[in-house]
Amino acid sequence: MPNPRVKLFDAHAHFFTNDIDRYPVDLTGAREGRDALLARLERDPATAERVFALWDVSGVTGGAAVQYNTVYKTDNSYTVDVADAHRDRTSAVLILAAADPATPEKLRLTAQGHNVSGLRLFGYPDAEGEYPWLDSPAALATWDVAADLGLHMVLMYAPGVPSEAALGRIVALARRYPDTVIALDHCGWPGIENGVAGTIGPEHRALADVPNIHFKFTQINFNRFAEAGIDPAGFVRLLVDSYGAGRVMWGSDYGNTKNSYVEMVHEAIKATGLLDEGERDQVLHANGARLFAGR
C-alpha cells in the first residue's frame, strides 16, 4: 500500500469515459487493437470519479488531466469537461495538431475559456529522421500563443529512444521561449542499454543548462527499466543530480499503462528512496502542483 505520509501530485493521468455516445472515440492506430481497447474502455473507464477515488486512497492531492491521444486524438472535449468540473483537483493538458493552421486560434479560444494549464505536442520523425512538427513556421505560431497565454508545453516524440534530432530542436525552442516551461514526457526517453549511468546520455546532458526544460518520469520508464535491469531509484537520483530537484516530477500514465494505481504510487515512492525529504517532496508533489495546479 502507498505510504500515507508521502504526498504526491500526478502530473500525467489520462481520463476517458465509456459514454461514447456523448464523447465519441477515435481509435485509429491503437496498439492494443480496436476491439480490445473498446472492451477496456467499457470495462474500466478512467472517469473523474474513479481516478479521484484512487488519488484519495494514495495520498495524491491532484494531477494533470493529459488528453488521451489513443482514444480521443485532438478532440479534447472529455478532458476539458473533467478539468472544468473539478478545478480543485485537476487541470487540462490539451493535444492539438502542431502543424494545423487552425491550431493557434483553437488553442487560444479553448485555453481562455476553460481550465487549461498546458498543451501537449506529439509526433514521429519525417523521412529524414527530423522533427519539423516541433518548430515549423506553423508550429511556432502555436508556440507563440502558448507563450502569450502562459501555458506549459508538454512534448513527446516517437519512437521511444533517445534522439539528438528531437532534443536538439527542443533545446532551441527552450532558448527561443525562455519563459515557457517545457515538460518532457517520459523524461525524453532515457537510454536503457548501459545501466543507470547510460540512462542520461550526451543528448540528454545537453539539456542540463536549459532551466526551463523539465523532466516527467512515469510508469512507462519503470517498466522499461525492469526489463533492462535498471534501478529506478538510481535513475531518479541521477536525474536530480543532473538537472536539479526543481526540474523533475512524477506522473503515473494511468489510463494508458496497465499497472494498478496502487502499484504505480508504490513504484514512485520507492524510486525516490535515494532522495532526501526535501527533494522527494519537490519531485513527487511540489513541482507538478506548481506547474499544473498553480500551488
For 191-213, give the DSSP string: --SSTGGGTS-HHHHTTTT-TTE
Q: Is the peptide bond before 162 cis (omega within 30 degrees of 0)?
A: no
Phi/psi at 59 (5° precision):
75, 20
Question: Residue 30's pLDDT is what?
Answer: 87
Please write the tens of the pLDDT for every residue from 123-168. 999 999 999 999 999 999 999 999 999 999 999 999 999 999 999 9
- Average pLDDT for 263-286: 98
Confidence of residue 294 (pLDDT cuts 50, 70, 90): confident
How far is the C-alpha of 126 from the C-alpha of 110, rounded, in Å? 29
- Pick from 28-37, 79-88, 131-140: least confident: 28-37
pLDDT of residue 3 exceeding 70, the answer is no
In this prediction, residue 2 has a pLDDT band, given cuts at 50, 70 and 90, of low
Mean pLDDT of 243-251: 98
Contact 165, 128 (CB under 8 A): no
Instruction: Give me the pLDDT at residue 295, please.
Output: 55
Residue 272, number of CB atoms within 10 A of its CB = 25
**Taking the mean position of all CA atoms in its chain, how far away is CA 216?**
6
Mean pLDDT, the chain, integer: 96
Spatial distance between the Cα atoms of 126 and 133, rounded to a whole number of angstroms:
9
User: Would you give the distance in Å from CA 280 to the centre of its chain?
Assistant: 19
The pLDDT of residue 252 is: 98
Average pLDDT over residues 236-243: 98
User: Mean pLDDT, to the nearest integer, of 33-49?
Assistant: 95
The pair phi, psi for residue 182, each rounded to 5°, is -110, 120
Tell the residue number behind the cell numbers 491521444, with chain if given.
69
CA–CA dist 58, 27 (Å, integer): 30
The cell for 118 is 498546458
Domains and CATH numbers, the chain: 8-293 (3.20.20.140)
Between the alpha carbon of residue 113 and those of residues 24, 33, 92, 144, the distances in Å are 22, 35, 12, 18
For 30, the grid coordinates are 491503437
pLDDT at position 1: 53
Centre a 10 Å sphere on the Cβ of residue 175 and count the other Cβ atoms it contains.
Answer: 11
To the question of pTM greater than 0.95 for the whole model, the response is: yes
